[in-house]
Structure 1
Amino acid sequence: MIGKQVGVQQKINILLKLNCVIILSCSTNLNFFKINVTGKQLGPSYVHLFLHSPIFGSFQIFQTITPVEPLLQKVVHRFYAPRLMAPIVKILICGESIMFERDMNIWDHKIYRGNPQLIVEDSSVKKFRKWYSNFYSVNSDGFNISETLQW
C-alpha cells in the first residue's frame, strides 16, 4: 500500500483500489458482454483503469485531473489498446464522453452535505468521502456562495 507519512503518528493511504465485473445480459444464462475492471486511484488527480474482456482483449484508460483555478479543472483521458481494438475503443470513447458530459451537469449543480443520509448500498460513498478528505487540510480554501449578486 502506498502511503504518506504525516507528522509522526498518522499515515494516510493515498492509493484507492477498485475491482468489479460488468455484465450485459438478457437473462441469467445469456451474457452478451462481460468485462473485468480493476481500477487504481492515486490521490484525487490520477486514475488508472485496467479492463479485460474475454472476447475483445485488454486495454487501459488513464485519467488525470489538474486544477486550473477555483471550480475549473483540466481532465484528460487516454485510452491504450491493441490496434485491432480501435473500432471498439472509438465506441467506448464516444460513450465515455457522453457520460462525462452528463456528470459535469451534475457537478455544476451539486450541493455539499456534510452528513448525507445514505442507504446500506451507498456505504462505499461514505468510505470514499473519508478517503478523499485526507487530501484537504484545515488551511484548504472552501467554496463560499455569496449572499448578494455583487461581484
Structure 2
Amino acid sequence: MSQQRFTHLDEQGHAHMVDVTEKQVTERVAIAESWVQLNQETFDLISSREIEKGDVLATARIAGIQAAKRCSDLIPLCHPLALTKVKVEFELHPDSHRIRVESLCKLAGRTGVEMEALTAASIAALTIYDMCKAVDKGIVIESTRLLEKSGGKSGHWLVAGTTP
C-alpha cells in the first residue's frame, strides 16, 4: 500500500492551504449525514413542533445551510467556496427516537465540498441539541460521516454498503 503524503503539510511539516489554482473546474457534490438520538418525550415534542424555543428542524436547517457557507471560517485550511446549492433534510425515526440529518453541498469549482457537507450536518445536529437541551440532557450526536462525493480528479466515491 503506497503512503499518501498529507497535502496540507509542506516539506518541513508546516501546515498550509493547498494551492488549487491549476486544478480543473468541475461540478463537485458531497453528501454527509449525522444522527441525533433523543428520549421519547423530546422526539415527540420535536415531531409535534411543541419545543418552547420554536420549530427545531426549521432552525436546524437554516443553521446547517449557514454553517456550510461559513466552513472556511471554522476550519483553518479550508478554501472559501462559492457554493451553488446547500440542502439539509431530516428523517424522523419514531421507533428509535432518532433523527437523521442529511446535507448536500454542490458547486462548480477547483476543490471539493466534503467539509462543507460535514459541517452542515454537524451544525444542524448541534442546533437540534441546543434547542432541546432544556428538556433532554442526554441527547447523543453520533455517526457523522461522508456518504458520497463526486467531481474532481478523484472522481466518484460512495461509502461502502450503499447504492447510488
TM-score (normalised: structure 1): 0.30
Please identify which structure carries the higher strand content. 1
TM-score (normalised: structure 2): 0.28
The structure with the largest alpha-carbon Rg is 1
